[in-house]
Amino acid sequence: MGKTTVTLTLLASLRRSDRLVQSFKVGPDYIDPMFHQHVTGLPCRNLDPVLTSEAYVQQCFARHSQLSEYALVEGVMGLFDGIGHGAWDTCTERRRSMGHGQEKQKSTNFASTAHIARLLDLAVVLVIDCSRLSGSVAAIAHGYRSFDPRIKIAGVVLNRVGSDRHLSLLKDSLEPLQLPILGVLRRQDNITIPDRHLGLVPTAELPELNALINRLADLGDTCFDWQRLLPLLKSEPLPSTDAINRVSPYSPSPSFPVRIAVARDRAFNFYYQDNLDLLQQLGAELVFWSPLEDAAIPKDVQGMYFGGGFPEVFAQQLAENTSVRDGVKTAILQGMPAIAECGGLMYLCEQIIDFEGKSWSMTGVLPTSAVMGGRLTLGYRRAVALQDNLLVKANTTVYGHEFHRSHLTLPPTQPLFETSRYDCDENMGCEGWGLPANIHASYIHLHWGESEEIPQQFLKECLKVAPS
C-alpha cells in the first residue's frame, strides 16, 4: 500500500459513513483522480501551479471544497519534491508572453506538496512506509517536521506495520517527538492495485474495484484515529455566495452553443475536469462517446476532443472499428476542429506499433506512426507557439506536461511548438501537429484553468462548422 491506497482508504471510510468529501490531487496526474472520483462520486480536482498558477490553485480549492463537508488533498511524490531551483514563475512568464518583463522563481520545491500546503494553509498528515524501519522512524518524522517550519505536520500515519512488536518499537521511537499517530495500517497482502507502464491501471479496466474499495473501507473504519482526523478534514465554508462567485475561474454565462464529441472510454480517459467544465461554462454541449465501442461519430457535432489514455493497449479494437476510424478522418479532412492530446495524437496517426512490434491501423489523419518503446518521456514543458493554430496565436507561451512511452516515426513539417523544460532553459525540440489547420495534435497535456482563451478559440472555430 502506498500514498494513493492510503488516500483511498480514507475516502472510502468517509463515504461509507455518508460523508460528502471533495478530493484533490497535487500535480498533473490523471489516473489517481479517477480512483478518487470512483470512491467519492465527485470529480477530483488537480492542484498544479505549474500548469495554472498559485492564485488558481487557491481559487480552485476554495471553490470546490466549500461545497462538501470534508476536503482531502493527496500529495505528489515526497513532501518537498517539486520543481528544482531556478524554476520559471508561471504568472511572470505568462505576463512576459504578453509583452512584459521576465523573472525567475527562486524555489527548490515549487509545485510540491509542501508548496500547496503553504498556499492553502493546510495541515499535513505524513504517511511513512515503516516496512523497513523501527527506531529510524523518529529521525524521518523529525526531519520532515523541522525542515520547513512553515509546514504544519499534524501527525503521522504508520504504513506497512508488520506486527504488534513492530508497532511497539515505532511508538517508542516517536514518543519523544509528541507527534500524534493518526493511523496504523498493517501490511495488506490482499490489497493491491495493478499497474502498467504509465502508472496504475485505470478504474474502467478493474472489474473487481468495488470489492477492493469495500476492503479499504473496512480497513479505514478501524485503522485511523478519526477523532483527531475529522477536524483536519473539515471544509471551511466561504462566507457568502458573492465570495463563491469571486473564486470562480469561469465565465458567468454561456456564449458558444456548440456540440463537442468527447472521446471517453477505456482507451481515452485522461481529461482535466476543469477543462470539461470550462467548455460547458462557455456553452458547449459535451457528447461523450467511444471510439472503441460506437459504430459512428455522434451526430450533429461541430468539434472533437480526444484526450490521452492507453490507445496502445486497445490498438487492435480501435483498428477493427473501421467505420469510426474512417468517420473521424473524413470529418477532420472536411474541416471539423479536433483537439488530440497524447493518446489522441496517437489515434490520429497512420499506425500504432505496440510493445510487441505489431502494427495497427489508426485514422491516418497524420502522416506518421506512433511506436511504443521503453523510454519514458516525462516532465513539465514551456511551449512557444511557432504559428497561429487552432488553439493559440503565434508566440503565445503555454505550459503543459508530457508523460508517454511512444515516439513518432516522422516529425511534423510545420510543428506547433518550440518546447523547453520548465525548470531550466534546456531546449526539448519542436513538436505538435497543426496540419490540417483545424487540428491541434500534441503530446503536451494542457490545463486551461488560467487560459480561458484556449477553449474560447476552439469553440469559435467549431462555430464555423455546420453540425454533421
Provide CATH code, domain 255-463. 3.40.50.880
Each residue's pLDDT tens digit, 72-122: 999 999 999 988 644 444 444 443 443 333 333 445 689 999 999 999 999
At 443 the three-state DSSP class reads coil
pLDDT tens-digit map of 405-461: 999 999 999 999 999 998 778 889 999 999 999 999 999 999 999 999 999 999 999
- Pairwise CA distance, residues 234 & 466, whole Å: 48
| DSSP-assigned letters across all residues of 367-427 | SSEEEEEEEEEEEEEEEEESS--SSS-TT-EEEEEEEEEEEESS--SSEEEEEEESSS--E
460 near 257, Cβ under 8 Å? no
Mean pLDDT of the chain: 90
What's the fold here for domain 3-92+107-233? Rossmann fold (3.40.50)
pTM of the model: 0.91
Model confidence over 294-316: pLDDT tens digits? 999 999 999 999 999 999 999 99
- Per-residue pLDDT band for 251 (boundaries 50, 70, 90) equals low
Neighbours of 129 (CB within 10 A): 15
Helix (H) and strand (E) counts in the chain: 15, 22
Digit-coded pLDDT (tens) for 185-239? 998 877 788 888 778 899 999 999 999 999 999 999 999 999 999 999 999 766 5
**CATH fold match for the domains 3-92+107-233 and 255-463:** yes
The predicted structure's pLDDT at residue 84: 65
Residue extents of the structural domains in the chain: 3-92+107-233, 255-463
Give how far Cα 349 sits from Cα of 241, 361, 387, Å: 47, 8, 22
Hey, which residues are catalytic here?
A: 342
